[in-house]
Structure formats: structure tokens, C-alpha cells
């Protein structure tokens, strides 16, 4: 079985210091959390950025400041900016970080209810537009899917040439409005992607470690971090994203999976730095 790629999603757009005081907002805090996660075993940083007061932003300037600060501490890390942004942002606002030509960026492949009145909107035309912008810049999309129909959308757009094969998926599981994080659901999602595709799985809240453990056993990869879950165990807040990464490393090694370095992750994902 190939080595395990661990992605650290260090701050997201919605979680705040009220949920966990260690959630990073500032450039310095984000860079330090990225370094701690890297040192613990993460080879990919899934990056949202915030203003200093915690307000989510897709500003290219803010992304650049954070990416430069992360690279200064972790020169070989893979940084994967989010084009999801936050609910209510326009398409062009969300697309700003692709202008920085990262190795990877996220490509959300469907619309999802996020609870209450929040709807994360990704029309087919939006998905095509985002895929085209990434394709022009040689950016590999990580295809974010919250349900099985989003996998079908990605496969259809791949057949039409908008997304290049082999595809890399991230199964986001346990979101209100998306697929749950039960074992049967991860098996269903895994069996729905093309044979040449790779996948990462993440579980929101209590689903985090059950989902990544099963993904490790199935030959997939793992995403953990404050964006998805702020607890190390029930009722115990993590002091850092690094705590969540380190727990994933321990689980992986108990199950016989070694951890991929950033360069090994690039080989697995077909990236060129």
C-alpha cells in the first residue's frame, strides 16, 4: 500500500476561537500552525485565510502573505488553497487564490445545504468555470465532494475534458446536508470513483477519526484539522492542529501505513513543484 498523505485543514472559514482558542487567524498564527502540522507529519496544508479579526477572506494578497509565511517555515510543503471560500461569496471572489498559481486548489463539484438558511452554491457552470481557470494555470484540482452525485458530476466533466484524469477526490463526510460518515458511506463513495483516481477522506466533528481510520485501511489518504473538528477526543480540545495530525500518524503506523513526505505526496498526486 502506498504511503499516506496527511492533509491539515488548519482554520477553515467558519470555525472560530470561540470553538477553540487555538484556531489561527493572523498570518503569523496560520504559518505557525502550518509548521506544527508539517512537523507532526502533514505534507499538504489545505488553506483558508482570515483577516486578523477572524473574518474569512479570499483576498489574493492575504493568501500570498500566508503562503509566503508558510513557505518560509516549510519550504517543501504542498499548499492547497480553497476556492470554496465562505457561504455567500461570489465566484470571482472565491477564485482569487488561483491567480497565485498554487500546485493544487480545491474544486467543489456540487451545491450543498449547510444548515439553517446557508446554501453552498456550485452550479454546473460555476464548476466548469473554476475547472477551466485551474486548467489554464496547470493547477491540479482536489475535487471536493459532499455526496455521491458530486462524484458523478466530476466524472461527467472529466469525460467532457474540463477536468483531467487521473482525478484526486476529497470526500467530505458528516456535513449537515451531505453524506454521513458511517463506514457504509465511505465504502460507497470509494467504489464510485474511477479506478485510476486517488482519494482523501475527512469527517466532520465526531466522524473525523473513524473516517480517516477507515480511509487509511482502504488505501486512501487522510485530512484532519480545525476546519473539520476541534477536539482531540470527546470533550478534549486539541491544543494545535498538530495534535490531530500526530494522532493520525499514530493510527496509520498501528495499521501499517507509513507517512508520505511532501515530495512523495507530489509523486502520488502527480504534481510538479
Where do the domains of the chain lie, and which CATH numbers do they carry? 6-269 (3.20.20.70)
Please state at what angle helix 241-254 crosses helix 27-40, rounded to 10 degrees: 10
Q: What is the pTM of this model?
A: 0.97
Q: What is the pLDDT of residue 273?
A: 56
Supply the pLDDT for residue 1.
86
Identify each DSSP E strand in the chain by its residue range: 6-9, 44-47, 49-50, 56-57, 78-81, 104-108, 112-113, 119-120, 140-145, 168-173, 198-203, 221-224, 231-233, 236-237
**What's the pLDDT at 91?**
95
Tens digit of each residue's pLDDT (9 = 90 or more) over 110-133 = 999 988 888 999 999 999 999 999
Confidence (pLDDT) at 86: 87
Classify each residue of 188-217 as buried b or exposed e, where b means 16 or more C-beta atoms within 10 Å of its C-beta: ebbebbeeebbbbbbbbeebbbbbbbbbbb
Q: What percent of the chain lies above the pLDDT cut of 70?
A: 99
CA 128, distance to chain mean position in Å, is: 20
49-50 and 104-108 beta bridge pairing? unpaired
Q: Mean pLDDT over all residues of the chain?
A: 97
210-235 tens-digit pLDDT: 999 999 999 999 999 999 999 999 99
Grade residue 160 by pLDDT with cuts at 50, 70 and 90: very high
pLDDT digits (tens, 9 = 90+) for 37-93: 999 999 999 999 999 999 999 999 999 999 999 999 999 999 999 999 888 899 999
Percent of the chain with pLDDT over 90: 95
From the list 248, 203, 205, 200, the residue with the least C-alpha distance to 20 is: 205
Amino acid at each position: 500500500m502506498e504511503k499516506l498523505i496527511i492533509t491539515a485543514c488548519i482554520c477553515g472559514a467558519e470555525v472560530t476561537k470561540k470553538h477553540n482558542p487555538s484556531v489561527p487567524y493572523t498570518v503569523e498564527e496560520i504559518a505557525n500552525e502550518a509548521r506544527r502540522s508539517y512537523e507532526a507529519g502533514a505534507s499538504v496544508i489545505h488553506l483558508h485565510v482570515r483577516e486578523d479579526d477572524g473574518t474569512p477572506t479570499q483576498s489574493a494578497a492575504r493568501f500570498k502573505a500566508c503562503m509566503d509565511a508558510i513557505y518560509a517555515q516549510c519550504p517543501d510543503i504542498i499548499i492547497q488553497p480553497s476556492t470554496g471560500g465562505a457561504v455567500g461569496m461570489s465566484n470571482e471572489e472565491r477564485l482569487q487564490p488561483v491567480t497565485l498559481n498554487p500546485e493544487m486548489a480545491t474544486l467543489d463539484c456540487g451545491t450543498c445545504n449547510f444548515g439553517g438558511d446557508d446554501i453552498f452554491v456550485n452550479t454546473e457552470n460555476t464548476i466548469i468555470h473554476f475547472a477551466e481557470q485551474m486548467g489554464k494555470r496547470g493547477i491540479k484540482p482536489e475535487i471536493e465532494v459532499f455526496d455521491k452525485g458530486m462524484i458523478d458530476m466530476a466524472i461527467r466533466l472529466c469525460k467532457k475534458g474540463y477536468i483531467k484524469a487521473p482525478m484526486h477526490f476529497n470526500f467530505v463526510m458528516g456535513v449537515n446536508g451531505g453524506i454521513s460518515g458511517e463506514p457504509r458511506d465511505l465504502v460507497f463513495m470509494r467504489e464510485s470513483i474511477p479506478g485510476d483516481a486517488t482519494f482523501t477522506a475527512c469527517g466532520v466533528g465526531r466522524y473525523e477519526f473513524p473516517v480517516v481510520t477507515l480511509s487509511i485501511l482502504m488505501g486512501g489518504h487522510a485530512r484532519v484539522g480545525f476546519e473539520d473538528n476541534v477536539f482531540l477526543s470527546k470533550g478534549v480540545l486539541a491544543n494545535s492542529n498538530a495534535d490531530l495530525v500526530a494522532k493520525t500518524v499514530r493510527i496509520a503506523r498501528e495499521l501499517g501505513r507509513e507517512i508520505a513526505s511532501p515530495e512523495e505526496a507530489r509523486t502520488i498526486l502527480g504534481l510538479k513543484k
